[in-house]
Amino acid sequence: SAVISQKPSRDICQRGTSLTIQCQVDSQVTMMFWYRQQPGQSLTLIATANQGSEATYESGFVIDKFPISRPNLTFSTLTVSNMSPEDSSIYLCSVVRLAGSLLTHNEQFFGPGTRLTVL
Amino acid sequence: GENVEQHPSTLSVQEGDSAVIKCTYSDSASNYFPWYKQELGKRPQLIIDIRSNVGEKKDQRIAVTLNKTAKHFSLHITETQPEDSAVYFCAASIGSSNTGKLIFGQGTTLQVKP
């Protein structure tokens, strides 16, 4: 599995501000994703971070609220913009490293998460 | 849209007993089904997965079965131990193309009593 780190591990922010979360992987990966996990809930996919191009967002998530960058194959950032208390969640990045045929799904691993509290 | 239903939401078993968690999915094109274990305050950890070309896969005390016709898949844990206590999530690939995207079930909180 890949070694994945996220910064910060947690933060407490005031409403109306923005926070940028970083995800770093120790080796080149084909795919990187950002998920949200609200307290006591399951994981919801926010977007696919595409290297060198705009991220692909899932229904209910927009670029203005969650801008994402992926400048290279090992690093991505997610910004939570104009925060409100409803944005309080754990934000996780995940990666898929191509380990077999292009026709098969490859294992997906998660970073340690960033616990965000918005006051 | 695509959906994954997971049952039960909570499960309590005695140490040594078996535990079964069931999921159903809606997208008939899904062909990859991983299971994750999440301990309190930790990241989800991949514990086993199955692809649509097989019906069953085992790894020591853990097994997963898949019924593509019925769009059901299940996690079986035998000889449960207190350290198996955690939240378990099933997931299904979104579509059959290699996008890597997953949709997750709602989670099952497993408690193994010593």
Cα gap A54→A96, rounded to integer Å? 18
Check residue A30 and give its pLDDT: 79
Q: Across the A/B interface, how many CB contacts are shorter than 8 Å?
A: 56
Query: Nearest residue on chain B to A4, judged by CA atoms?
Result: B43
Count of helices and strands (H, E) across chain B: 0, 11
**Distance of alpha carbon A27 from alpha carbon A57, whole angstroms:** 24
Nearest 5°: the CA angle B91, B92, B96 is 160
Asked if the C-beta of A117 comes within 8 angstroms of chain B's C-beta atoms, the answer is no
pLDDT band at B61 (very low <50, low <70, confident <90, very high): very high
Task: Say if the Cβ atoms of A45 and B49 lie within 8 Å.
Answer: no
Average confidence (pLDDT) over B64-77: 96
Dump pLDDT digits (tens) for B38-54. 999 999 999 999 988 88
Are residues B89 and A42, on separate chains, in Cβ contact within 8 Å? yes
Give the helix/strand (H/E) hosting B100.
none
B10, B47, B102, best to mutate vs chain A, most A CBs in 10 Å? B102
Residue A84 backbone class (left: φ over 0; alpha: ψ -120 to 50; beta: rest)? beta
